[in-house]
């Protein structure tokens, strides 16, 4: 049961209908999750209260996942949690632990895949005053569209020595003897499969281009490693261009493959281009102004998200949302993980989850409340009242706890 009575958010004819008291399921998260969530929830509630004077309110509904779920129910991701996200459409979560090597597969990835939240949307923007390792962090202003349902994250892996792995090895060596010979150490190799499809690529790229139109952006860049993985990452590039041409009427520039089209909204030219991922990762440091909207595959998107977050001051203020633009389902969450060494110390920066909440409010159309969060965050940073991650790099700053940083954000909403 939610803390206050509320109604579900619904989707009709491609538009969300948001009641004044929407039920929003949340997962607190593992590690530092509870500290961050407690603070973020307070900031979100304060922004909504201030923006709407009590006429709107979120009816929070806690749902379980991760360690807390396992301790209480014996399951890591109970069906009741999935049912709540299905029913109430829009939710938010703290980070969840994934063990390396063995153990459970990622619950974070499972949520995205089960609910088919195919876009991982991660805006990367600079907040004035945040300490950054680059000289002109304000030049980094990008929005990542990371494909969320395919690639090696689909989790089709075979452990060396397992019966399934042996079966696949036999199958491959018999069906494709010449290609199998290229496997350098066949007796000890583990195998993984990387599915990348035209449909999966097209829906992601379509969403990225639509975002560029809606937000008056100059370019969309397809980031891939198609020179090496020709039929998966190369396919992503080719299908991405195909989508730009077929869905948006783009035509090739100077013989292609770059292409462009006139934005139906602003009449300005939007360029669709591509870059190989390793080159892109050096250019985000040397020529960040050349990138705007990024459309990329799942693993590239994971690496690029953390690298770009570092450029604008770190993972402490790197928000995101996992969205299915067709069904309306969305779960907002930070780019960072559980940072377990800081668990229960009320220490880390709550900014990433708070800003994920800000994205959620904007997604619901509650822009006044979302704007207040940005105002509050800007004010707290300008006053140099910040958590340890910023304080250790800022001259003359006051060190705040996680919860105190929340108080500072709320104070600066005024
Ligand atoms: N979506 C999700 O739920 C995600 C979950 N994970 C999971 O989280 C676990 C831990 O992953 P790990 O690789 O350590 O990565 P984390 O992102 O959890 O932490 C790495 C480092 O980032 C910094 N950091 C992280 N969060 C914050 C914050 N809120 N404020 C300030 N600094 C922060 C800290 O740096 P410093 O040490 O310099 O202070 C921390 O040591 C793993 O199980 C992983 O699978 C990882 C990513 C996403
Ligand atoms: O699921 C995890 O544990 C890691 C996920 C991750 O790194 C991400 O979504 O960026
Ligand atoms: Mg990651």
Run of H or E residues at 11: strand 10-12
Percent of the chain scoring above 90 in pLDDT: 96
pLDDT at 385 over 80: yes
Instruction: Tell me the average pLDDT across 277-290.
Output: 96
pLDDT of residue 4: 81
At residue 179 the predicted structure's pLDDT band, cuts being 50, 70 and 90, is very high
Determine if ligand 2 sits within 6 Å of the CB of residue 106.
yes
Relative to the CA of 94, which ligand 1 atom is closest?
A: 3
Hey, which bits of 30-160 come out as E strands?
59-62, 90-93, 119-124, 142-147, 157-158
Nearest-CA residue for atom 5 of ligand 2: 108
The pick from 339, 352, 356, 406 for probing ligand 1's pocket by mutation, whose C-beta has the most ligand atoms within 8 angstroms, reads 339
Q: Given ligand 1 and candidates 315, 318, 336, 343, which is best to mutate, with the most ligand atoms within 8 Å of its CB?
A: 336
pTM for this entry: 0.97
- Binding positions for D-threo-isocitrate are 106, 108, 112, 122, 146
The CATH number assigned to the domain with range 132-150+196-312 reads: 3.40.718.10
- 110-149 CB burial, b ≥16 within 10 A, e <16: bbbbebebbbbbbbbbbbebbbbebeebebbbbbbbbbbb
The closest-lying atom of ligand 2 relative to the alpha carbon of residue 107 is 1
Q: Is 57 helix (H, G, I), strand (E, B) or coil?
A: coil
Ligand 2 close to Cβ of residue 315 (< 6 A): no
How far apart CA 349 and CA 332 sit, in angstroms, is 17
Ligand 2 in reach of 108 Cβ (< 6 A): yes
**Does residue 51 come out as left (phi exceeding 0), alpha (psi in the -120 to 50 range) or beta?**
alpha
Q: Name the residue among 332, 328, 320, 321 with its Cα closest to residue 88.
A: 328
Residue nearest to atom 6 of ligand 2 (CA): 302
Q: Are 293 and 273 in contact (CB under 8 A)?
A: no
Whether ligand 2 lies within 6 angstroms of the CB of 302 is answered as: yes
What is the C-alpha separation between 86 and 251, in angstroms, rounded?
Answer: 39
**Residue 106 DSSP symbol:** P
339 CA distance to ligand 1 middle (Å): 4
Write out pLDDT tens, residues 226-256: 999 999 999 999 999 999 999 999 999 999 9
Instruction: Say yes or no: ipTM exceeds 0.90.
Output: yes
Nearest ligand (C-alpha, residue 146): 2
Report the half-sphere exposure of 396 (CA within 13 A, side-chain side).
5
- Confirm whether 1-124+317-413 and 132-150+196-312 share one CATH topology: yes
Please report, for the chain, the start and end positions of each structural domain, with discontinuous segments joined by +.
1-124+317-413, 132-150+196-312, 157-192
What spacing in Å lies between the alpha carbon of 108 and ligand 2's midpoint?
A: 6
Per-residue pLDDT of 120-175, as tens digits, reads 999 999 999 999 999 999 999 999 999 999 999 998 999 999 999 999 999 999 99
pLDDT digits (tens, 9 = 90+) for 55-109: 999 999 999 999 999 999 999 999 999 999 999 999 999 999 998 887 888 999 9
| 327 CB within 6 A, ligand 2 | no
Ligand 3 center to 219 CA (angstroms): 24
Helix (H, G, I), strand (E, B) or coil at 410: helix
CATH of domain 1-124+317-413: 3.40.718.10
End-to-end CA distance of the chain: 33
Residue nearest to atom 3 of ligand 2 (CA): 98
Residues assigned a catalytic role: 153, 225, 278, 302
């Amino acid at each position: 049961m939610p803390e206050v009575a509320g109604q579900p958010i619904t989707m009709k004819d491609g538009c969300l209908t948001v009641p004044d008291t929407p039920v929003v399921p949340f997962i607190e998260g593992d590690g530092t999750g509870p500290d961050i969530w407690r603070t973020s929830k307070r900031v979100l509630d304060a922004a909504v209260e201030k923006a709407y004077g009590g006429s709107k309110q979120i009816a929070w509904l806690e749902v379980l996942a991760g360690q807390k779920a396992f301790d209480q129910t014996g399951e890591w991701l109970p069906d009741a949690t999935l049912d709540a996200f299905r029913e109430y459409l829009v939710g938010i979560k703290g980070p969840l632990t994934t063990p390396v090597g063995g153990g459970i597969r990622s619950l974070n990835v499972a949520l995205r895949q089960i609910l088919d939240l195919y876009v991982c949307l991660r805006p990367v923007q600079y907040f004035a005053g945040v300490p950054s390792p680059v000289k002109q962090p304000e030049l980094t202003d990008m929005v990542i569209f990371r494909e969320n349902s395919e690639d090696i994250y689909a989790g089709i892996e075979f452990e060396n020595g397992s019966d399934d792995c042996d079966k696949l090895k036999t199958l491959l060596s018999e069906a494709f003897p010449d290609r199998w010979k290229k496997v350098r150490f066949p007796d000890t190799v583990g195998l993984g499969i990387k599915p990348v499809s035209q449909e999966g690529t097209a829906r992601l790229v379509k969403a990225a281009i639509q975002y560029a139109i809606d937000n008056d952006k100059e370019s969309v860049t397809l980031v891939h490693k198609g020179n090496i993985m020709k039929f998966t990452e190369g396919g992503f590039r080719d299908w991405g261009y195909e989508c730009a041409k077929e869905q948006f009427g783009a035509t090739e520039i100077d013989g292609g493959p770059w292409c462009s089209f006139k934005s139906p909204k602003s009449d300005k030219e939007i360029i669709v281009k591509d870059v190989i991922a390793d080159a892109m990762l050096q250019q985000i440091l040397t020529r960040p102004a050349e990138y705007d909207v990024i459309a990329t595959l799942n693993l590239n998107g994971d690496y690029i998200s953390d690298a770009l977050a570092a450029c604008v001051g770190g993972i402490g203020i790197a928000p995101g949302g996992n969205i299915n633009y067709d069904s309306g389902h969305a779960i907002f969450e930070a780019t960072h993980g559980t940072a377990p060494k800081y668990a229960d110390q009320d220490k880390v920066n709550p900014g990433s989850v708070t800003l994920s909440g800000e994205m959620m409010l904007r997604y619901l159309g509650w822009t006044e409340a979302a704007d207040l969060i940005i105002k509050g965050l800007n004010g707290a940073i300008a006053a140099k009242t910040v958590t340890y991650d910023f304080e250790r790099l800022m001259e003359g700053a006051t060190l705040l706890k996680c919860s105190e940083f929340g108080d500072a954000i709320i104070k600066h909403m005024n």
